[in-house]
Structure 1
Amino acid sequence: MTTAALGAFGALLHAEWTKFRTVRGWWASCVGAVLLVCLVGLLATAAGNEGSGSSLPVGPGGEAVNDDFSFLHRPLTGDGTITVAVTSLAGVIGTGPGDTGSGLAPWAKAGIIVKDGLTQGSSYAAVMVTGGHGVRMQYDYTHDVAGAAGAVSAPSPGWLRLRRSGDVLTGYQSADGHAWSEVGTARLAGLPDTVQAGLFVTSPSVEQATATGSGFAPAVATGTFDRMTLNGGWAEGSWQYRQVGRDAGVSGSYTADTKGKAVRAGSGYTVTGAGDIAPVVGGPAASGVRSIENFVVGAFAGLVVVVVVAAGYITVEYRRGLIGLTLAASPHRGRVLVAKALVVGGVSFAAGTVAAAVVVPFGGARSRAGGFPVLTVPAGTEARVVVGTGLLLAAAAVLALGVGTVLRRGAVAITVVVAGTVLPYLLATASVLPDGAAEWLLRVTPAAGFAVQQSVVRYEQVVTDYSPSSGYFPLSPWAGLAVLCGYAAVAFGTGVVLLRRRDA
């Protein structure tokens, strides 16, 4: 594009901006969209909670975490190695009086851990056997590396070894205690010279089928450890038992067998514990906890407003017979539509971003004041949700502009865009449809764009309900937004072609 053409397009863009800002209804509607997003978000957080409202532990990556386990530990200064045989991992599901039964959570864990102190959320690395996923090495809550499959028993124990060398922790496994293979390696930046290390056991809740659907029952695990050997800078003295976190002790009126504890057993120890060492996610696993999605839930209402404005931005010119004047002033018809898209898309982006930037921190403060812990996420994720809300509204506005250009009728264009974007979103997230149908809608319709607001993450090692009704989208945030942008691009491109070919 030449300098003269750029100047002409700049003048056209200025003219379209002037046209937009001088129509009070359009401008007021965009301000109303900001207020509506904030109002709906605040209404969604209006209810109080009689709980403690305590905050969740935060892991090294800035995410909210569970850090609850039984810990038999001793200080380790500098480099060192701990080796142990796990001869048994058993469990109890349903820990209340009269309803306990044998069973083992698939992600029950028993093994060796090196941890940066006893504070919840501190950095760690661990190698372990699990109830149903074999040997794993996990570190800093979100990282999980698979080792060999299989269960352990007294005749066939699982041998584990964890070696520290500076900031590097390496996990090993063996079937006989002689031939070792590496499971994984973790580098824990900033690990202090003296750490707490030893044996741990924990067990998350177990998903079970009930008469009304699936539910989660509490579970406890007991690991038996034998033939432990230490090398390196281990402190002298006896082992100390500690219940890290509120769930590790299995508090309440439970049987003696399900209490968190560590007991000397022959040449080793038997450790009982519950809870989990893992990131906090959505669904039932985060019951009573609020996330960013709760605060920006009003985006669908703001989206409806910008769709009305964007569709009317072009269709009102057809209705009032002004489109001829607009095209006469700029014979390059495609540039007219591009200028309109930049104006209405830019205003919608600003409205969505401002609304999210206000409601996210305000909704978090309001929730904490009302007694709800708020799911912590890294700063980058929060920024993506805020900016993504603006992009969501901008893409919807361009989609509505394109559809309005094609159909030339405001009411019809608004109905088409709302029915294709907001309606599938509401149906999929309100538990109206089966999970399969809900996921299908959120893959192939413009409603996929709402995925850009998702802050909760799927983790293989965390069991929960990963369905749309629990806040999980089948596509990644940017992939979901790309689907919406694809619809907007097709509608806009079709609008450009028809605007060039049809009479004004």
Structure 2
Amino acid sequence: MTAVLPPPPPRTDRRRALDGFARVLRAEWTKFRTVRGWVIGIAVAALVTVLIGILATAGPTLNHRPDAIPRGPDGRAVNDAFYFVHRTLRGDGSITVPVTSLTGMISAGPDMRRGVEPWAKAGIIVKDGLRPGSHYAAIMVTGGHGVRMQHDYVHDTAAPRAVASARWLRLVRSGETVTGYGSADGARWTRVGSVRLPGLATEVRAGAFVASPMDMAPTSHGATFDPAVATATFGTAVLTGGWTPGAWKGGQVGSAGTSGSYTDTLHGGFTESGRGLTVTGAGDIAPIVGGPALGTGYAVENLLVGAFAGILLTAVVGALFASAEYRRGLIRLTFAASPRRGRVLAAKALVIGLSAFLTGLVAAAVAIPLATMRARGHGFFVLPASAWTQARVVAGTALLFAVASVLALAVATLIRRGAAAVTIIVAVLVLPYVLATGGMLPDGPSAWLLRVTPAAGFAIQQTLVRYPQVDTVYTPSSGYFPLPPWAGFAVLCAYTAVALAAAAHLLRRRDA
């Protein structure tokens, strides 16, 4: 007797759809890898990205060491230049002092004029030694932003409105915690902020300080920067806790030239009159961002300047991947073998997108360390970025390659002409990026180009951060994008999604 086997279970619609898409995907991958020009184009895109990144760091060897730039507690490049009148504080203690006046001078070429730079700072500070880049916490009167408490270069807290214009300042150190207070009359005190400085030594330096960054004057294509100096008069300091006896000691911390080239007339110093102090200082205590500070340095994204050329090449390949079958009349065979046209478009997008993604990933991962080595070898510094930020830049560059190539594929599918599709990609992606970042347009139009065109996607590469307490040129030509990294990339993705949807719609409605 012959046993009768049960019939195999029927495949579900979802399983059949997956099997069908896998066959289409395999067919499109075979087409892509068997066309030598497309494979070579992808490889050249990676090579061009790396080579331009390396060559862009070429230039005359500078006479300073790139590692001379101070690093803050988190490894960030910082300005740490100010005039410091200090004593040693062992253990806990406090310092209270009134700031009775703050004046300044600004050097505009050979001329000097009176004026206080808005972020000139005069106040009291607790600092973990005199080494530039060490932990600190300070409360201060500023030239135009009221009373602030700042610590470790990137952190800034505005005083409550009640003491925003106060002139009495107090710092209290308790272990690793430093608390700042402000008062309008020296009797009633308001807490401005309390911060923890991890690893703060038992013995620290504390006292009065004055700093003044360069004065910025905005222009239509950026800004000019003039050296500035500030002078503050402090009343009698009241000290409690473990202060060493003796006279105040004064000296410059760091180099005032970190924030610009200061003339001989803009130098620091202090005098004692009665029980008060008059202190003059220049420089700044802040993170290094864009503007003149990058005159001898690079941000990480500057090392990937070749990415726009690599992206253009992968976009060309993406456009040809879609248009070649129309030009040769092979698209009818493709649709005969796979009648579901949307599935064919999805497979093509996945093949070119993954290929471009891997190309961008390899190119960025290779370009950054090689260009960094070359820059440092010529005496330039590269602004450090956290491991997470660098990973975002590398992965973001790869995503730029992928999405731009898919956008080109979708446009070529819409118009069925590879050359025309590439022209459109240049017009909407590459040209706005070059015009905006190359300083060819005023700042306003440049910023709008990087908000509303697909070129906004390049924001994914940005590592420079805008700090409210640092005045500099926050414009596309200096490396700043008007949208945050992922928001800018979302604009590019939105354009690509619309183009893909339109391409899929037309594929279903018109003849092959």
Common fold by TM > 0.5: yes
Structure 1 pair 108–236 and aligned structure 2 pair: CA distance change class (3 A)? same
Cα deviation for residue 314 of structure 1 reads 1.1
Summarize the alignment of residues 291-306 of structure 1 with structure 2, pairs less than 5 Å apart: 291-306=299-314
The match for 1:492 is: 500
Is the aligned partner of 1:6 residue 2:6? no
Residue 234 of structure 1: aligned partner: 243
Q: 1:213 to 1:407 in 2, by over 3 A?
A: closer
Aligned pair partner of 2:80 in 60, 67, 70: 67
Q: C-alpha separation between the residues in 2 aligned to 1:150 and 1:284?
A: 36
Matching residue of 1:201: 210
The Cα RMSD (Å) is 2.3
Residue 289 of structure 1: CA displacement? 1.9
Are 1:108 and 2:120 matched, yes or no?
Answer: yes
Q: In the superposition, relative to structure 1, how do residues 248 and 225 fare at CA in structure 2: closer, same or farther (>3 Å)?
A: farther
Larger Rg: 2
Q: Which residue of 2 aligns with 1:131?
A: 143
Q: Is the 8 A contact 1:80 1:234 kept in 2?
A: yes
User: Could you tell me how far 1:248 is from its partner in structure 2?
Assistant: 7.3
Q: Please give the secondary structure, in 1, of the residue aligned with 2:235.
A: strand
Which residue identity lines up with residue 70 of structure 1 in the other structure?
Answer: Y
Instruction: Number of aligned residue pairs: give it.
Output: 498
Distance 1:34 1:478 in 2: 23
The whole-number CA distance in structure 1 between the counterparts of 2:479 and 2:468 is 17
**What CA distance in whole angstroms lies between the structure 2 residues aligned with 1:65 and 1:252?**
18
Q: Which amino acid aligns with 1:114?
A: V
Could you say which residue in structure 1 is the equivalent of 2:94?
A: 81
In the alignment, which of 377, 380, 386 is matched to residue 388 of structure 2? Answer: 380
CA contact 2:222–2:473 (8 Å) conserved in 1:
no
- 1:8-407 aligned at under 5 Å gives the runs 8-55=20-67, 56-94=69-107, 99-147=111-159, 158-208=167-217, 214-247=223-256, 254-255=264-265, 258-407=266-415
Preserved CA contact (<8 Å) 1:290 1:373: yes
Question: Once the 2 structures are TM-superposed, how far is the Cα of residue 210 of structure 1 from its aligned partner?
Answer: 8.4
Per-residue CA distance 1:388-408 (angstroms, 9 max, x = gap): 111111110111111111111
The answer as to whether partners of 1:425 and 1:447 remain within 8 angstroms in 2 is yes
- In structure 2, what is the Cα distance between the partners aligned to 1:306 and 1:143? 41
TM-score w.r.t. the length of structure 1 is 0.93
Query: Is 1:467 aligned to 2:480, yes or no?
Result: no
Closer, same or farther: CA 329–80 of 1 in aligned 2, 3 Å: farther
Aligned partner of residue 60 in structure 2, secondary structure: coil
Tell me which amino acid in the other structure corresponds to 1:76.
L
In structure 2, stretches of 5+ residues that fail to align are 1-12
* Structure 2 contact 87–207 (Cα < 8 Å) conserved: yes
The secondary structure found in structure 2 opposite 1:38 is helix
Aligned amino acid, residue 174 of structure 1: S
Shift of 1:252: 7.1
One-letter code aligned to 1:254: D
Q: CA deviation at 1:12?
A: 2.5
Summarize the Cα distance change of 1:438–1:252 in structure 2 as closer, same or farther, 3 Å threshold.
closer
Amino acid at match of 1:183: V
SS in 2 for 1:177: coil
Question: Does the 8 A contact of 1:248 with 1:273 survive in 2?
Answer: no
Amino acid at match of 1:475: L
Tell me the secondary structure at the aligned position of residue 27 of structure 1.
helix
Cα distance change, pair 252–220 in 1 and its aligned pair in 2 (3 A): closer
Q: 1:74: how far off?
A: 2.3
Cα distance in 2 for partners of 1:93, 1:210 equals 18
**Structure 2-normalised TM-score?**
0.92
* Matching residue of 1:428: 436
The separation in 1 between residues aligned to 2:264 and 2:118, in whole angstroms, is: 22
CA deviation string 1:313-332 (max 9, x = no partner): 11111111222222233233
User: What SS does the corresponding residue of 1:472 show, helix, strand or coil?
Assistant: coil
CA pair 76-354 structure 1, distance change in 2 beyond 3 A? same
Cα distance 1:259–1:433, how it changes in 2: closer, same or farther (>3 A)?
A: closer
Runs of 5+ consecutive residues of structure 1 not aligned to the other structure? none
How many angstroms does 1:348 deviate by? 0.9
Task: Name the aligned partner's letter for residue 177 of structure 1.
Answer: G
1:155-206 per-position Cα deviation (integer Å, ceiling 9, x unaligned): x970011122222222110000111111122222222333222211111000
CA shift digits 1:129-179 (9 cap, x unpaired): 001111011111111111257999xxx970011122222222110000111
The whole-number CA distance in structure 2 between the counterparts of 1:95 and 1:228 is 35
Single out whichever of 325-334 and 403-412 deviates more from structure 2.
325-334
Question: Does the Cα contact within 8 Å between 2:428 and 2:455 map onto a contact in 1?
Answer: yes
